[in-house]
Structure 1
Amino acid sequence: MTVNDDSFTNWMHREEIAESMIPIIGKLHREQDVNVLLHSRSLVNKSVVSILKTHRFARQIAGEELSVTETMPFLRALTTLDLGPSQIDIGMLAATYRADGRGLSVEEFTAEAVAGATGDNKIERRASRDVVLYGFGRIGRLIARLLIEKAGSGNGLRLRAIVVRRGSGQDIVKRASLLRRDSIHGQFQGTITVDEANNKIIANGNEIQMIYSDDPREVDYTAYGIKDAILIDNTGRWRDREGLSNHLRPGIAKVVLTAPGKGDVPNIVHGVNHDTVKPDERILSCASCTTNAIVPPLKAMADEYGVLRGHVETVHSYTNDQNLLDNYHGSDRRGRSAALNMVITETGAASAVAKALPELKAPITGSSIRVPVPDVSIAILSLRLERETTREEVLDYLRNVSLASPLKRQIDFISAPDAVSSDFIGSRHASIVDAGATKVDGDNAILYLWYDNEFGYSCQVIRVVQHVSGVEYPTFPAPAV
């Protein structure tokens, strides 16, 4: 047998193992509300090749490839336990087991590591929490995809309705088509049908009521059987408490804004300050995509090195707020063609840092350039640190943060030398540290942070909604504090 034959045989063997993982992962998700992860990446509803690629990606952050032959025993061990709703990272189980020197079996180690999700410790499966989308643009449709994807077990969050202004012609058919196909994010994973007579979209069995209204004060959600719902306003039309309060109608318990909030509206970046949300708070904001991209790594750097001051320059993909061709626009420069120009504009992300990270007293300035790409942006974060360090130390630290810290769902890490913006379309992290571009000179550090300003941000919104709705399940093994 040749070397090539050996490689192919090995590939087929790993394919077979990945194939056998799929029904186990699916059953755990549907029957026990357990989301199986691999280094913070969900393996639910993933294909054989996707599972293998996710394992291989581990080499970017952990330094070596993780094999399905290593993780499969831990997955099997989970099936023997009486698990409650939780997120279990089999990549972290394998990594921590490898470092454990007590001589425990895989089954013994796994039972110990996830003990918080078993027996008397496990939390009860909760009834679904109704969610309403107000607006159905770029962010609204991606949030809809995520909510439908996460409906899985029937628990957690349930998308019940979408509120829009009625368009001309076949409005609901056209909106369903935009949900079904996306030029950037690809095809919807599942099936979508339309019930025009009842103004409903049925996506993977989820019946979603389309409500037509020009005024949030006119909608009675209880008429559609919606109760105690969380409404996600992705229009950005109202940003202060007074305007957003118009959504607090019968059937709506809380309002979450997908734009920076003004005045006393709390700006929440999941992973950083989501635990400050008061139980009785009915209105909150998820800040901006750029704020979500820079605040987690900024917190990480401040915690370890201290930050005296900083500047963030964002090179941002164009958005629907800009013109396709030169035309009138109320803001400076944004009237010029987005597809043909780099456009200097302002960003509120730097000033928003104070709301999300009030303990950071360092002044942070910011500016932005819109560029002719439709998605994925990069934030260049230049920091003056309180102590001198080295590039190697910073990269080792951030790599570890992405693997084993409470910020591992927000911060990703990549060392690929040829990475470009399109490689990060669909990333579920708030930002991705580009190791190759990182620069450190004494007490000066420059971080290059990629982020999918559409999908990654939508994932952060979902995490906030899960938290305030009480369906954010604990992760095991628990990240290091």
Structure 2
Amino acid sequence: MTVNEDSFTNWKNREEIAESMIPIIGKLHRERDVTVLLHSRSLVNKSVVSILKAHRFARQIAGEELSVTETLPFLQALAALDLGPSQIDIGMLAATYRSDDRGLSVAEFTAEAVAGATGENKIECREGRDVVLYGFGRIGRLVARLLIEKAGSGNGLRLRAIVVRGGGDQDIIKRASLLRRDSIHGQFQGTITVDEANNKIIANGNEIQMIYADDPAAVDYTAYGIKDAILIDNTGKWRDREGLSKHLRPGIAKVVLTAPGKGDVPNVVHGVNHDMIKPDETILSCASCTTNAIVPPLKAMADEYGVRRGHVETVHSFTNDQNLLDNYHKAERRGRSAPLNMVITETGAASAVAKALPDLDAKITGSSIRVPVPDVSIAILSLQLERETTREEVLDYLRNVSLTSPLKRQIDFISAPDAVSSDFIGSRHASIVDAGATKVDGDNAILYLWYDNEFGYSCQVIRVVQYVSGVEYPTYPAPVA
């Protein structure tokens, strides 16, 4: 047999193993509300090839490819346990098992590692939490996709309604079509039908009521059977407490804004300061996509090296706020054609750092350039550290942060030498460290941080909503603090 045939046979064997993993992963998710991860990447509803690619990606982070032959036994061990709702990272199970010298079997080690999710310790499945979307633009539709994807066993978040301004003929059909097909993020993974008579979109079995209203005060959500819901405002029309309080109508318990909040509205970056949300807080903000991209790595660097001062320059994809062709715009420069120009503009991300990291005693400045790409941006974070270090030390540290720390869902790491912006479309991390572009000279460090300013940010929004709704389940093995 030739070498090529050996490689092909090996590939077919791995395909077969990955194929056998899919029903186990699906059953754990549907029946027990368990999300199986591989180095923070969900394996739920993934294809054979996607599972194999997730295993291969581990090579870029950990230095060697992770094999499905290594992770399958851990998945089988999980299936044999009495698990409660949780997130379990089989990549981390395999990695920690390698370094364990006690001679435990895979089943014994797995049972010990996830003990907090089994038996008397496990969280019991609870009734799902209603969610309402106010607005249905770029972020709203991606958040809707994520909510539908995460419906799982029905015990988590449930998208019940979408509120939009009244449209013309076939309004709901056109909006359903925009949910079904996206020029950047591709086709919706599932089926979508429209009940035009009752103004409902049915997506993967989830009935979503379309509500037409020009004013938040005009809606009584209880009339649609909605109760104790979290409303996600992705219009950006109201940003202070007074304006957002208009949403606190019958049926709505909390309001989450997908833009930087003003005044005393808490700006939350999941993974950094989400645990500071007060239980009785009814209004909060998820800050901006750029704030979510820079704050987690900034916190990581401050924790390890200390930060004296910094500057962030964001090279940002254009947005709906800009004009397609030159036309009047109330803001400076933004009236010029977005797909034809680089446009210097402002960013509030630097000032938002103080809200997310109040203990950071460092001045952070920032500016932004909009460029002619429709999605994915890069933040160039230049830092003066409190101690000298080396490029190798910083990269090793950030690689480990992306693998094992509490920030591993926020920070990703890539060492591919030819990575470009389109490679990060669909990334679920808030920020991806580009190892090849990183520069360190003594106490100066420059980090190049990619981020999908649409999808990655939407994932952060969902994480905040899961946390405040009480359905953010613990992750096992526990991240290293």
User: Secondary structure of 2:30's partner?
Assistant: helix
- 1:69-123 Cα deviation digits (max 9, x unpaired): 0000000000111100000000000000001111111001000000010011101
CA distance in 2 between partners of 1:371 and 1:327 (Å): 17
- Aligned-pair CA distance for 1:169: 1.5
Higher mean C-alpha deviation, range 163-172 or range 175-184: 163-172
The alignment yields a C-alpha RMSD, in angstroms, of: 0.3
- Aligned-pair CA distance for 1:297: 0.1
CA distance in 2 between partners of 1:376 and 1:403 (Å): 22
- 1:188-229 Cα deviation digits (max 9, x unpaired): 000000000000000000000000000001100000000000
CA distance in 1 between partners of 2:243 and 2:375 (Å): 29
User: Secondary structure of 1:66's partner?
Assistant: coil
Q: Which residue of 1 aligns with 2:125?
A: 125
- Aligned-pair CA distance for 1:261: 0.1
CA distance in 2 between partners of 1:82 and 1:2 (Å): 46
- 1:159-178 Cα deviation digits (max 9, x unpaired): 00000001112100000000
- Aligned-pair CA distance for 1:407: 0.1
- Aligned-pair CA distance for 1:366: 0.0
- Aligned-pair CA distance for 1:386: 0.2
If the length of structure 2 is used for normalisation, what is the TM-score? 1.00
- 1:404-430 Cα deviation digits (max 9, x unpaired): 000000000000000000000000000
CA distance in 2 between partners of 1:155 and 1:13 (Å): 36
- 1:419-445 Cα deviation digits (max 9, x unpaired): 000000000000000000000000000
Q: Which residue of 2 aligns with 1:421?
A: 421
- 1:105-164 Cα deviation digits (max 9, x unpaired): 100100000001001110111110000000000000000000000001111000000000
CA distance in 1 between partners of 2:387 and 2:250 (Å): 54
CA distance in 2 between partners of 1:432 and 1:312 (Å): 15
CA distance in 1 between partners of 2:149 and 2:370 (Å): 31
Q: Which residue of 1 aligns with 2:431?
A: 431
- Aligned-pair CA distance for 1:345: 0.1
User: Secondary structure of 1:4's partner?
Assistant: helix
Q: Which residue of 1 aligns with 2:21?
A: 21
Q: Which residue of 1 aligns with 2:64?
A: 64
- Aligned-pair CA distance for 1:290: 0.1
CA distance in 2 between partners of 1:158 and 1:451 (Å): 27
Q: How much identity, in percent, do the aligned residues show? A: 90
- Aligned-pair CA distance for 1:313: 0.1
Structure 1 stretches (4+) deviating beyond 4 angstroms? none
- 1:320-359 Cα deviation digits (max 9, x unpaired): 0000000000000000000000000000000000000101
CA distance in 2 between partners of 1:456 and 1:150 (Å): 15
CA distance in 2 between partners of 1:169 and 1:452 (Å): 33
CA distance in 2 between partners of 1:262 and 1:324 (Å): 29
User: Secondary structure of 2:279's partner?
Assistant: coil
CA distance in 1 between partners of 2:151 and 2:270 (Å): 21
- Aligned-pair CA distance for 1:367: 0.1
CA distance in 1 between partners of 2:389 and 2:368 (Å): 28
CA distance in 1 between partners of 2:153 and 2:49 (Å): 24
- 1:206-262 Cα deviation digits (max 9, x unpaired): 000000000001100000000000000000000000000000000000000000000
- 1:353-372 Cα deviation digits (max 9, x unpaired): 00001010100000000000
CA distance in 2 between partners of 1:334 and 1:275 (Å): 36
User: Secondary structure of 2:267's partner?
Assistant: coil
CA distance in 2 between partners of 1:225 and 1:409 (Å): 34
- 1:23-80 Cα deviation digits (max 9, x unpaired): 0000000001100000000000000000000000001111110000000000000011
CA distance in 2 between partners of 1:178 and 1:309 (Å): 43
Q: Which residue of 1 aligns with 2:394?
A: 394
User: Secondary structure of 2:84's partner?
Assistant: coil
- 1:291-319 Cα deviation digits (max 9, x unpaired): 00000000000000000000000000000
Q: Which residue of 1 aligns with 2:255?
A: 255
Higher mean C-alpha deviation, range 34-43 or range 166-175: 166-175
CA distance in 1 between partners of 2:323 and 2:102 (Å): 62
- Aligned-pair CA distance for 1:478: 0.1
Q: Which residue of 2 aligns with 1:241?
A: 241
If the length of structure 1 is used for normalisation, what is the TM-score? 1.00
CA distance in 2 between partners of 1:126 and 1:470 (Å): 10
CA distance in 1 between partners of 2:244 and 2:357 (Å): 23
CA distance in 2 between partners of 1:248 and 1:361 (Å): 36
User: Secondary structure of 1:254's partner?
Assistant: strand
User: Secondary structure of 2:237's partner?
Assistant: coil
Aligned residues: 481
CA distance in 1 between partners of 2:291 and 2:164 (Å): 27
CA distance in 2 between partners of 1:200 and 1:118 (Å): 39
What are structure 2's unaligned runs of at least 5 residues? none
User: Secondary structure of 1:93's partner?
Assistant: helix
CA distance in 1 between partners of 2:332 and 2:167 (Å): 30
Q: Which residue of 2 aligns with 1:477?
A: 477
CA distance in 1 between partners of 2:172 and 2:80 (Å): 46
- Aligned-pair CA distance for 1:451: 0.0
User: Secondary structure of 2:131's partner?
Assistant: strand
User: Secondary structure of 2:338's partner?
Assistant: coil
CA distance in 1 between partners of 2:361 and 2:273 (Å): 16
CA distance in 2 between partners of 1:260 and 1:114 (Å): 37
CA distance in 2 between partners of 1:33 and 1:161 (Å): 23
User: Secondary structure of 1:339's partner?
Assistant: helix
CA distance in 1 between partners of 2:166 and 2:63 (Å): 52
CA distance in 1 between partners of 2:439 and 2:465 (Å): 36
CA distance in 1 between partners of 2:99 and 2:370 (Å): 45
Q: Which residue of 2 aligns with 1:8?
A: 8
CA distance in 1 between partners of 2:143 and 2:361 (Å): 33
CA distance in 1 between partners of 2:237 and 2:62 (Å): 43
How do residues 8-407 of structure 1 correspond to structure 2 at under 5 angstroms? Answer: 8-407=8-407
Higher mean C-alpha deviation, range 97-106 or range 256-265: 97-106
